[in-house]
Structure formats: structure tokens, C-alpha cells
Amino acid sequence: MLKPTDTRNPDHYHRVVDCQWGCPAHTNVPEYIRLIANGQYTESYLLNRKSNIFPGILGRTCDRPCEPVCRRVRLDGEPVAICRLKRVASDLRDDITGFLPAIPEERNGKRIACIGAGCASLTVANDLLPLGYEVTIFEKLAKPGGLMWTNIPEFRLPAKVLWEEIDYILDMGVDLRLNSPIDSLAALLEEDYDAFFIGSGAPKGKELNLPGRWDSEQIHIGIEWLESVRFGHIDKCGDRVLVIGVGNTAMDCCRTAQRLGASDVKVMARKTKPHFKASPWELEDAIEEQVEILENHSPSRFIIEDGKVVAMEFDLVTWHPGENGRLRAEKLGSKIIECDEVILAIGQDTAFPWIERDIGIDFNKWDMPIVDKTTFMTSRPGVFMGGDAAWGPENIIWGVEHGHQAAISIHAWCEGRPLTDRPPEGMNLISQKMGLHEWSYSNDYDEAERVKMRHVDLQERFKRLDIEVEEGFDIEQTLTEVERCLNCDMQTHFEANLCIECDACIDICPLDCLTITHNGTEEEVTRRLTAPLLNYPDQPLFVSEALPQTGRIMFKDEDLCIHCGLCAERCPTAAWDMRKSDLLVPYAGLAAGELHAGMSIMDLALNGGTAGGELAGAGAGAEPTGAGTG
Amino acid sequence: MSYIKKPRVHHPGLTRNRLGLTRRDYEGTMSTLCAGCGHDSITAAIIEAFWELEIAPHEVAKTSGIGCSGKTPTYFLKEAHGFNGVHGRMPSITTGAHAANRELVCIGVSGDGDSLSIGMGQFAHVVRRNVDMLYIIENNGVYGLTKGQFSASADVGSTAKRGQVNREHPIDSVLLSLNLGAGFVARSFSGDKEQLVPIIKAGLRHRGFALIDVISPCVTFNDHRGSTKSYQYTRDNYNQLVYADFVPPAEEIATSIEAGNMRSVQMHDGSRIAFRKVPEDYDPTDRDQVYSYIRGRQRAGEVATGLLYVEPAPRDATDAVDFHGIQGTVDEPLSHYPFEDLCPGAEALEKLQKRFQ
């Protein structure tokens, strides 16, 4: 017999909001899109900032884990342009400095040292400064930002956007030490800090040790090369450039080369397109700029003449399924391709030559430090780690989430509380009924296709390195795209005891999500559904309590629900209701849904602090778990 | 923001019938009846039945009279021919339509008010004329559109929403049509599509007049304690007397059914109705027995449902005495004849009139 679903557990409705569930930082996507639709750009920006800290940066550069899982993909094949809508909120916002949390005059006397001024450390600082901590960040380069600064070219991320969002955090009172590489962690540990956070990234580009590799100055490591371009040390490149590798760094390298004067840029891939590591949209943008991508070319040697690389030789390969599901290459021939410059973009690694191996930080067999996935603490108490440094290259949004979690741990550590007692998430669930057939949100299904981002003219964009290619959405595009959002947080909430089994909801549901049937084993029940399950168990199911008149159950497959609210409109007894589920996420010093002291009314409204909501929490509920010094 | 149309987007697994149509293609416009109205469930069952039978919507004539039931043909088969007639006059309109074109699949939707009060005379005569149609009575025991007065099908002792007790005897459309000679008589419940859909299919395939009286609770005026047409009362007193499966001509009857408990009745077009779990003392082809059996169940306070009576097809299909057979109408639909044949002109008229002088 299927058990009734516990909708009071925040996870159930959270899973229904695919984008928010897919986002490592659990950004409240539907709510921020509605705020944009309403012209409330500042509010939308602030709601974003609460979870992802860098809306302007991420609105241009995020790897968008939210978009492939978007419900629209399962309905019309194209996700809502979640990421680029975030940029709209950032572009059109007013000054938000007044809405940032106040920093207490009186500090709490705790000092935190962060290594590396990238997204993870900056998030730790963002979360801890309002609680009264003193945060020092050591950065080896002359500028903060980590890979956000050194590796993302300005034609994708304008400097103004980057510095503005980094400055919000620095201006909270970070003690930033630039040009300060840490050569010895042991030495730093000697200093007077209460906790340490390592957010040093994965700064070492992978090598390609083939014959000729060390015989020419024109062979570069991708991330180092991008960094040199960023700092102005490199401002031109050869005419014919080969980029080895086909990840996102390769895409940035080939497009940068185009802007530094290269006229013939080829990206060399060992495998075929389905195996490319680059995000589809970054591939598209490179192809639009006439970068050539060659598949099944496996590099075998560099050809050097007079100390200059003049060509590369490749094995031409085809791939066969091999053992353990891995592909096996078969060489079909070889090919020499002429070039003036080679850029290696085949991945990056962490590098910890500066962490002594005898100071209590354990490393695994791949020479990676062992970090607890929940607490983010290393095996040395008081030393925390996050971002790319912890488990290798990910993207910014993961670094941010690591920062949030590490901050929660550091706060608990400094207060002497156990790190494994993580503050639970909470949920507000509030009816959206405004009238007989009226809901608080735009509930009709809009058949519009995904809006295409407009790009600066091809000729124009190559004139300078810092011309942002994407123009952003204009108002009309924005208004079209926001309507594509299905408001998946507007939950179809069911109260079994009110149901009279009239079938109205079953008959009206456009996607055949609902079934009333006798309870039984999962196999029995799912065989009797109005429409077959297509994405189970990825997508959640809802099973009601026994219905009063016949003892049958209401069953819902959440997979394709478009949240149109027709089930609730056609329900005579309000057994179905559309309720907004507002996931309440805890942060350092803040229980789920709690605000920093002195936060604005605007932010209060954004935090779902609406009276009358049904507050449900996992386990102990949304009880504050820390005193909170803010 | 309010009262959106049912979005066209649908489940990707939606199957198509042999005409290439999905169930969604058999829908009409959005219902404007009260939320939870039984009529909407009947509409959904009609959609399902037409889709399963693979009947092309343009080959269907849907007709209705006045009342909540009169609105419902708008909500299914938007590409079918339709006529929303005067109160109680749906039978005449359908008779006319079918007289002119016997190839039309005719479905008339009426209510207990439309059929058993103002349209009682029309109802009686369409039954005895044996017009080839499916006649659905959406039976809720009240006049819903005029705020819930008792209708002619309200049971003695049942109460209105404000507590008045009905003391007038009900007219039972099932017993009435059995008396009038109907060859296909069923009662079902809007809340039981598993039963309703096969009966609608069989009714559409029956040559001659087919009646389905469907208990269809009025959520607004007759779904309270004291009502005998509420969801709760119907479920509490539900007696599914016989289970009827509709078996199209080419298909085998599922063998899993216990032979002793099953009867198969042949229909005109070669399809069969497989009756299951029939009580031992019940023969769904014996009009007199069915009549008294149902009376007995009613006295016991039960709502007896199922395909209660069906007249077996005569061995020779030409013996069928439906409306066309009785009237001796032409085989071809009138629309197939050239205009000159249908309207031979003033001279022909004069000639005809002379015969009566």
C-alpha cells in the first residue's frame, strides 16, 4: 500500500520546484521571475543575492544547473531563460547598498582567515561579517575575484559588474590582503585566527606532455593564458591558433584569441559533440564567431621549427564501446595541422604545495585534501575548505553554496556547537486564492518560445576585448520570457478530507497528472494511472490520505503539472488549493526564514515573512539553532 | 488571471486513435457549469467513449434542450454538428436530424427537468418511435438552473437544500422507458467512469433508441444530507447490478471471466456486450423480469446501476424495427440526393395536390 505523502516536509514541494531543487544555492527562481514580471527589479535582485550573492555575475556566467531541469524542457523542449532573466534584475535594479545587512559596531571578537579571494571566500565573508566576525582574505594576485576575474573574459563579464558585486562584500569591512600568497599553511595556522577557510580554487591547468611541449614559447596553458590577457601581459596572438580541449575554458580561449587578432582558430576535440564538456550555449556562441571545432582529433606531437611551434600532429580516431562502458579509441590515420600558437585547455587541478602534510590535514590517494561534505571541515579541526579547492573544478554557484555551508560551520565552531547539527530548512505554504477564479499569479500556460538573446554584431564585437557580446533582454523580451515560467512553487495542495470524488480535477487537468484509484502496491497503482509515468523516480509523486467516501486515494504525478490551477478552480470543496511554497533556507547565524536585525521592510516581504502562513519545518521545525549575534 | 481556457499543451504520452486523433481532439470549450458538477464528468466520459470508438466528430449530431444539461454538448466534440433546442424539444430535433441523415451518429443530452417535466411527451414518443440515438439524461433531482426546486425525478422524502421535503412521486426514466419499449436501458453514475464509458460506447453502437439515465449530483443545490441524488448517498446505496463490457466486432471476449457468470449479447453491428457478475435470478434481456427486479431493488433503497436491459439483435438485421424501418424512409441521407429530386418544382407540387382534390 502506498503511504500518504508528507507535504509538511519542505523537501516534497521543494522537489517540485525543479529549478530551485537543481540550484546548489536553492535560489528562489519562480519568485524572482515574478518580481521581474512585476517590474520589481531591485527586490528581484535582493532575493537572488540572498542565496547566490552574485546575481549580476551569475546572470551572465552561471553554468545554469537550473535550466536543463526546468519543467518547460519536458513540455516544449526549451527551458525558461532563468539565467538571463537574473541579469535583467541586475541590469535594471536601483542602488541596493541600503538593503545590505548592517555590520555591527561591536565585533564578536572572532577572527577568520580565508585563503583566496574567489567566490567561496567572498561568500564566507558575506555571511560572517554581519554577525560581527573579522574576516581577513589572503589573495596571491593583485586583484580579488579569483577565476571570476582571471578566467572569464570581459566580453562575457564586464569589469564593472564584477567589481560592483565584489565591492558590496569588501565594503562590509573585509581585511583584504592582496599580493599575499600563502606559502605555508603551517605558518598561517600559528597566527591568531579562530578559524581558517581555504578557498584557493583549482588554479593549475592540466599539462599535455607530448614531444615538443617544452620547446616553444607559443604553447600556453589556457587558464594561465587567460589570466595574462586579463592583466594585460598578453595583448596579441598568432594568426592561426589551435585550442586543445573542448570545455568552457577552451571556449573562452578560442573567443579571446579571435579578439587578439587570430583569424583562423580551431578547437581540437578528441571525441564527438555529445561528449564535449562545454555547455551547449558556450559552444553555440563560439560557433557563431566562426570558430571551427574538429572532432576525433587526438594530439600526438608538437612540431617545432627554430624554437617556434609551426604545427601539431593529430591521430585521427574513431571510438568504440570498450570495457566498463568506457570508449576505446581506434586510430585511423594522422594529420598535421599548421599553427602559430597552441592553447591547452584540457582541464585544471587543485594544487596544495603550500599545505604541509604533517599538520593534521589528511589527503587522499589523488592528493586531494579530505573534506567533510556536510561540514566542509578538513581533518584538522577549525580548518575549513570549499569551492574548487575542495573537490576540484565546479562552477561559481557551487563555490557560493560551499561558502554558505562553511560559514554555518565556522559560526557553529566559533560558538562551540557541534557542526553536524545543521539548521533545518523550513517552508511557508500560503494560499494564493484571490477570488472565485482568480489567483495571485499569472496561471495561464503561455506557448511562447524561448526568447533568443541578441548579440552585438559580429564585426563590431571583435573591435575590443571588453565589448560585451550579449546585449541582455529588452523589456519586451523580458515580458515574453517571464510568462514562460510555470510558477512551479505555486503548489497544487490537496486536503483529502474535503474531497467528494466528483472527478472535476481529473477531467480538467490538461496534462493528465491526476488519478483517483484504489490504493495498492506501487506497481498496481501506477498501472492504473490516467497517463503513464515518464520521469519516475526523478520526479516526485503525491499520494493522498484515503478519500472519505470510497477510501480510494488521490494520486498526482508532479512531472508535467503546469501549475495552471484549473484543478483548484474546478474543485467544488477547495480540497485542491494553489499554495505558494516558500522554502526557508538557513544561513550562518540565521535560522530558516530569520532576518538580520535591522533588515528593511522590503527584505521582510521578500523573505516570505507574511502573516498567516503555515510554517512547516523538517524535524524540529524552524527553531533557531544559533543565538545569532547579528 | 481568471477563468483561463484549458491549455492546449498535453501529456506527450497521449495516444492517437486510428483517425489520428487524441482524446483532447474530442473536447469542446471550457465548461461554465459549477465546479464539481456531475455533468462535467459525464462530458468527460462521452469524450472518452467517442475517442475509443474512433468516431469522426463531423459524423456526429449532438442535441440538447434547456437546463444545465442543455449546455453540456458545447463541452464535447467541438467539430460535431450541434443544436441547442427549445425546452424539452430535443427529441423532435434529433428525430428530424436523423430522418434527414441516417448516417449521423446522434447523441442527445437532456436532464430530468428537460425530459421528465416539460419534455415528457416528447420523451415518451421518441422512445416508442425507436429513433436511432443515444439519449442521456443527466439526472440530479433538481432544477439546477432555476436555483434548486425539486424535479420530477426527486424521491419521496428527499429534502431540498433548505430542508423542504418532497412528497410527490418520482418519475423513473428507466422504468418508464422499459414500459415504452426501449431496446437499451441503463442507469449509471457520473462518479463511476469505469462503468459509464463502456455503457456509452454500447449505447452509441445500439441500433435504435438507447437510454442512459446518469445520476449526476448537483453540487450546488442537491449534494446535502437528505438528498438522494448526492455523491455520498449514491455511493452509500450503490448497487452495480451487472457489469457490462463493450466488445467491438473484431475482438475476443476476455476469457478470464467465469463462464457461468457471464452472458454475451450480440448487437446489430456484430459487436457484443459481455455481461459479468449478473445475479442468478436476473436476465438483462427479459424486459418483464428486469422491470420487477429494479422495482425490488428500489424498494430496498438501492440505486441499481449498469446496463440493465438490452434487446438482443434479431437474427436477421433487416428485421430491425427502428424509426427508419417503421417509416420506410429512403436509405440514403437526403443530402446525397440532387436538389431537383428533393425539390421537383411547382409542377410536381400541383400534380400532387390534385391527387387530394
Alpha-carbon dihedral sign for residues A274, A280, A283, A284: positive
pLDDT tens string B130-153: 999 999 999 999 999 999 999 999
Q: What is the DSSP string of A508-555?
A: H-TT--EEEE----HHHHHHT-SS--SSTTTS-EEEPPPPTTT--EEE
E strands within chain B?
60-64, 81-84, 105-111, 133-139, 142-143, 149-150, 184-189, 209-215, 238-240, 243-247, 263-266, 272-276, 303-310
The C-alpha atoms of residue A302 and residue A213 are separated, in whole angstroms, by 6
- Indicate the residue among A347, A378, A401 that finishes a domain: A347
Mean of pLDDT values over A526-541: 95
Q: What pLDDT was estimated at residue B67?
A: 96
The C-alpha atoms of residue A154 and residue A148 are separated, in whole angstroms, by 10
Residue at A178 is within a domain: yes
Which site among A500, A517, A571 would you substitute to test the B interface, given the most B Cβ atoms closer than 10 Å to its Cβ? Answer: A500
pLDDT tens string B153-180: 999 999 999 999 999 999 999 999 999 9
Specify the CATH number of the domain B23-327. 3.40.50.970
Specify whether A119 is located in the same domain as A184: yes
- Indicate the residue among A358, A391, A415 that finishes a domain: A415
* CB proximity list for B303: less than 8 A, separation 6 or greater: B187, B189, B215, B234, B237, B238, B239
Subunit contact B1:A447, Cβ cutoff 8 A: no
pLDDT tens string B295-335: 999 999 999 999 999 998 776 655 558 899 888 888 899 99
The C-alpha atoms of residue A534 and residue A557 are separated, in whole angstroms, by 9
A525-531 contacts, C-beta under 8 A, 24 or more apart: A525/A2, A525/A553, A525/A555, A529/A555, A529/A557, A530/A506, A531/A557, A531/B11, A531/B13, A531/B14
Subunit contact B36:A571, Cβ cutoff 8 A: yes
Spell out which residues of chain A touch residue B13, defining contact as CB-CB under 8 Å.
531-532, 534
Could you give the number of structural domains in chain A? 2
pLDDT tens string A347-405: 998 899 999 999 999 999 999 999 999 999 999 999 999 999 999 999 999 999 999 99
Strand order of the β-sheet with A327-338 is A297-305, A308-321, A327-338
Structural domain containing residue A137: 100-203+350-415
Q: What pLDDT was estimated at residue A121?
A: 98
The residue in chain A having the minimum alpha-carbon distance to the alpha carbon of residue B220 is A572
Number of Cβ atoms within 10 Å of the Cβ of A476: 9
H/E stretch holding A617: strand A614-617
Confidence class of residue A167 from pLDDT cuts 50, 70 and 90? Answer: very high
Q: What angle do CA A20, A22, A27 make, to 5 degrees?
A: 35
3-state secondary structure (DSSP) of residue A203: coil
The residues spanned by each domain of chain B are 23-327
Q: What pLDDT was estimated at residue B352?
A: 93
Q: Are the C-beta atoms of residues B26 and B54 closer than 8 Å to each other?
A: no
How far B179 CA lies from chain A's nearest CA (Å)? Answer: 32
How far B297 CA lies from chain A's nearest CA (Å)? Answer: 21
Specify whether A226 is located in the same domain as A339: yes
Instruction: Check if B138 contacts A (Cβ < 8 Å).
Output: no
Which site among A526, A559, A570, A577 would you substitute to test the B interface, given the most B Cβ atoms closer than 10 Å to its Cβ? Answer: A570
How far B345 CA lies from chain A's nearest CA (Å)? Answer: 52
Subunit contact B13:A562, Cβ cutoff 8 A: no
Subunit contact B2:A503, Cβ cutoff 8 A: no
Specify whether A237 is located in the same domain as A309: yes
Q: What is the CATH number of the domain that holds A326?
A: 3.50.50.60
Q: Check whether A628 has a pLDDT greater than 60.
A: no
Specify whether A229 is located in the same domain as A340: yes
Proportion of chain A above pLDDT 70, given as a percent: 95
Tell me whether residue A308 is exposed, middle or buried, using C-beta atoms within 10 angstroms of its C-beta: 0 to 12, 13 to 18, 19 or more.
middle
Torsion of CA A179, A184, A190, A194, to 10 degrees: 60
Specify whether A181 is located in the same domain as A298: no
Looking at the partner chain, which of B1, B41, B232 has a beta carbon nearest the beta carbon of A503?
A: B41
How far B217 CA lies from chain A's nearest CA (Å)? Answer: 9
Q: Are the C-beta atoms of residues A212 and A311 closer than 8 Å to each other?
A: no
Q: Check whether A618 has a pLDDT greater than 80.
A: no
Q: Report the b/e string of B286-312 with b at 16+ CB within 10 A.
A: ebeebbebbeebbeeeebbbbbbbbbe
Q: Are the C-beta atoms of residues A432 and A578 closer than 8 Å to each other?
A: yes
Specify whether A231 is located in the same domain as A144: no
Q: What pLDDT was estimated at residue B310?
A: 94
In terms of residues, how long is chain B? 357
Torsion of CA A325, A330, A334, A335, to 10 degrees: -30
Specify whether A198 is located in the same domain as A214: no
- Indicate the residue among A415, A445, A465 that finishes a domain: A415
Confidence class of residue B249 from pLDDT cuts 50, 70 and 90? Answer: confident
Residue at A436 is within a domain: no
pLDDT tens string A69-82: 999 999 999 999 99
Q: What pLDDT was estimated at residue B292?
A: 95
Subunit contact A507:B1, Cβ cutoff 8 A: no
Specify whether A271 is located in the same domain as A229: yes
Mean of pLDDT values over A575-603: 85
Residue at A77 is within a domain: no
Confidence class of residue A449 from pLDDT cuts 50, 70 and 90? Answer: very high
Subunit contact B37:A503, Cβ cutoff 8 A: no
For residue A461, give the nearest of A261, A259, A252 by alpha carbon: A259
Specify whether A246 is located in the same domain as A303: yes
Residue at A286 is within a domain: yes
Mean of pLDDT values over B101-105: 95
The C-alpha atoms of residue A125 and residue A484 are separated, in whole angstroms, by 36
CA neighbours within 13 Å on the CB side: how many for A219? 23
Q: Are the C-beta atoms of residues B245 and B265 closer than 8 Å to each other?
A: no
Spell out which residues of chain B touch residue A37, defining contact as CB-CB under 8 Å.
none
Q: Check whether A630 has a pLDDT greater than 50.
A: no
pLDDT tens string A392-404: 999 999 999 999 9
The residue in chain A having the minimum alpha-carbon distance to the alpha carbon of residue B47 is A507
How far A250 CA lies from chain B's nearest CA (Å)? Answer: 37
Looking at the partner chain, which of B7, B35, B41 has a beta carbon nearest the beta carbon of A444?
A: B7
Instruction: Check if B68 contacts A (Cβ < 8 Å).
Output: no
Spell out which residues of chain A touch residue B34, defining contact as CB-CB under 8 Å.
572
Residue at A438 is within a domain: no
Q: Where are the alpha helices (DSSP H) in chain B?
A: 38-53, 68-71, 90-100, 112-116, 120-129, 173-180, 193-205, 231-236, 287-299, 323-327, 339-342, 346-355
pLDDT tens string B43-67: 999 999 999 999 999 999 999 999 9
For residue A227, give the nearest of A250, A193, A203, A255 by alpha carbon: A203
Q: List residues bridging with B19 in a β-sheet.
A: none
Specify whether A173 is located in the same domain as A302: no
Looking at the partner chain, which of B6, B13, B191 has a beta carbon nearest the beta carbon of A566?
A: B6
Residue at A557 is within a domain: no
Q: Check whether A626 has a pLDDT greater than 70.
A: no
Confidence class of residue B222 from pLDDT cuts 50, 70 and 90? Answer: very high
Q: Check whether A608 has a pLDDT greater than 60.
A: no
Spell out which residues of chain B touch residue A562, defining contact as CB-CB under 8 Å.
7, 9
Mean of pLDDT values over A39-53: 95
Q: Are the C-beta atoms of residues A382 and A194 closer than 8 Å to each other?
A: yes
Chain A residues contacting B via beta carbons under 8 Å? 74-76, 434-439, 442-445, 447, 500-504, 506-508, 510-512, 531-532, 534, 549-550, 560, 562, 564, 566, 569-573
pLDDT tens string A568-588: 999 999 999 999 999 999 999
3-state secondary structure (DSSP) of residue B159: strand
Q: Report the b/e string of A403-428 with b at 16+ CB within 10 A.
A: bbbbbbbbbbbbeeeebeeebbbbbb
Which site among B2, B26, B41, B216 would you substitute to test the A interface, given the most A Cβ atoms closer than 10 Å to its Cβ? Answer: B2
Residue at A577 is within a domain: no
Instruction: Check if B193 contacts A (Cβ < 8 Å).
Output: yes
pLDDT tens string A150-164: 999 999 999 999 999
Instruction: Check if B16 contacts A (Cβ < 8 Å).
Output: no
Spell out which residues of chain A touch residue B216, defining contact as CB-CB under 8 Å.
none
